[in-house]
Amino acid sequence: MQDLTTLASVFEAGGLAFLHVTHGEDGFWYATFEMEDTFEEPDGNIQAMLEVIESLAPEHKQIWSGCDLKEFNIGYDCGDEPWAFNQSLSSKVLSRIATAAASLRWTLYPARSEIT
């Protein structure tokens, strides 16, 4: 339940944009980040985030380590086209995610026409 505002500032200085940093009514802190510059494949985005995480100063690593949930969420707006596409994560990036004690999640968003 550590304040995440300091970590958010460090992430922002490293090129990550925070969408929100919130102290919830339940006493927990919540934060969501994304890359300011994006790559076509999630591998590049996650590598750039990992570079920031791996270079944290000891006091910031302690805050990161104290977080209960750390995950990389790859979101896709499914839309109507294309029918299928391929993207990948290298084994090196998967290993680095595990070393950072983080998880991987995929979010599939329905076509906007289906949301009414």
| Alpha-carbon torsion (69, 95, 8, 34), positive or negative | negative
Could you give the residue ranges of the DSSP H alpha helices within the chain?
A: 5-13, 42-54, 58-65, 91-99
Q: How many CB atoms are located within 10 Å of the residue 93 CB?
A: 19
The residue type at 49: M
What pTM was estimated for this model as a whole?
A: 0.85
Spell out the residues 6+ positions from residue 90 whose beta carbon is closer than 8 angstroms to its own.
43
pLDDT digit of tens for each residue in the chain (116 aa)? 689 999 999 999 999 998 999 999 999 999 999 988 888 889 999 999 999 999 999 999 999 999 999 999 998 887 777 777 788 999 999 999 999 999 999 998 887 765 55
- DSSP category for residue 100: T
